[in-house]
Amino acid sequence: MEIQEDVAVVGGGPAALAAAEVLAGAGRTVAVYERMPSVGRKFLLAGRGGLNLTHSEPLPDFLARYHPEGRLAEAIRAFPPQALRNWCAGLGEPTFVGSSGRVFPRAFKASPLLRAWLARLDGAGIRIRTRHRLAALGDDLMFETPEGELRRRPRAVLLALGGASWPRLGSDGAWVPLVEGLGVAVIPLRPANAGFAVAWSAHFRDRFAGEPVKRIALTVGGTRVRGEATITAAGIEGGVIYALSRCLREAIEVAGTAQAILDLRPDLTRAALADRLGRPRPGQSMATRLRKAAALAPVAIGLLREAGGIALPGDAYTLAGLVKAAPLRLHAVGPIAGAISTAGGVDFSGLDERFMVRARPGLFVAGEMLDWEAPTGGYLLQGAIASGRAAGAGIASWLAETGSRAA
């Protein structure tokens, strides 16, 4: 079969599109193959909350958010957060830094940025073929399409098929057996940035499912994170949970359960809180005492009762200690289909510095298919785009070295 294009990029998320852009800039002919009816579906979903693109913290701190340590470090150094911001501005979508240090497009949504990006790719001659599902991976690529089977033989292939979270948007992990069939090691996919199961009482679950728990701190091991969470019928999710999801998941994998410590008033010391709680009015109920003296919302009081029992301690110092350190036991991670992202993926030990599979020259991998994870807060998109650009540059370099001329 003759060569039809220099590079086939399989997948239509940020990593795939970033790689295609770099390759087109290097003068290569590129086709993007996406199994869904349109590209960037998970990208658009992320934009519903404002599209947190990256983070403004110092680069050493930023890189420390990625696990295992050092993953994607070189790719992100080559395309750091400021470069991502400049890229957005070049597409007519300037960014701003929010109060938490997170970076957002000024439009505060994903659709204008994606439209501008796709227009740029189209102007660069990149062909995007939707409804093309990768069915076989070998010397040729075989896609299933509405018109039937399609076979392609490009000079190089980039796989950027995502993880296994939000499968209805296209990332379903179906690529794992195809890649493993080539002898490529894949670390099992697991949920990351996911909710966790908690054995709530029926009363608490029925009353508070869906309620936010604001301005709290959560500690797991020696790591403490401040933020918010949301009670669900099955357990708990939200920012502070996502930030510690790797620690919680790994604890559950080892011991079957994980214990976190909730601080429901992180802005007050135990002594200051005890002083406030130590002056109850005659006849005042415990709920009223906690609501007025400790400024706890009903859901926070409910969490205290879940941790300490219906009959909470009357002693002010003991009660303050429970408010500051309420135990929360989590016994299972939520399903991978409902997670924001996934851990695991193609083992980095089988890749070279260009993101090429050592055992399969000409085959490259980028994005969430790779074995890395990071919390929400801009790290996921930054990692996907930076790895896609790094893989695109690696493909261009490999094609030049092997003497492959443009198709």
Q: How many CB atoms lie within 10 A of CB 140?
A: 11
Q: How are beta strands 141-145 and 133-137 bridged, if at all? A: antiparallel
Q: How far is residue 31 from each of residues 9, 216, 374, measured CA to CA in Å?
A: 6, 47, 29
3-state secondary structure of 233: coil
Element (H, E) at 65: none
Domain residue spans of the chain? 7-192+337-401, 196-333
* Domain 7-192+337-401 superfamily per CATH: FAD/NAD(P)-binding domain (3.50.50.60)
Q: Rounded CA gap, 79 and 385, in Å?
A: 9
Residues sharing a CB contact under 8 Å with residue 206, sequence separation 6 or more, in sequence order: none
How does pLDDT run along the chain (407 residues), one tens digit per residue? 556 799 999 999 999 999 999 999 999 999 999 999 999 999 999 888 789 999 999 999 999 999 999 999 999 999 999 999 999 999 999 999 998 999 999 999 999 999 999 999 999 999 999 999 999 999 899 999 999 999 999 999 999 999 999 899 999 999 999 999 999 999 999 999 999 999 999 999 999 999 999 999 999 999 999 999 999 999 999 999 999 999 999 999 999 999 999 999 999 999 999 999 998 888 889 999 999 999 999 999 999 999 988 889 999 999 999 999 999 999 999 999 999 999 999 999 999 999 999 999 999 999 999 999 999 999 999 999 999 999 999 999 999 999 877 66
Q: How far is residue 216 from each of residues 18, 265, 270, 334, measured CA to CA in Å?
A: 37, 6, 14, 21
Q: How are beta strands 341-346 and 186-192 bridged, if at all? A: antiparallel
Contact 161, 334 (CB under 8 A): no
DSSP alpha helices (H): ranges in 167-237? 175-180, 202-208
Residues sharing a CB contact under 8 Å with residue 286, sequence separation 6 or more, in sequence order: 312, 314
Query: What's the one-letter identity of residue 266?
Result: P
Crossing angle of the two packed helices 286-293 and 270-277, in degrees rounded to 10: 130
Q: Model's pTM, two decimal places?
A: 0.93
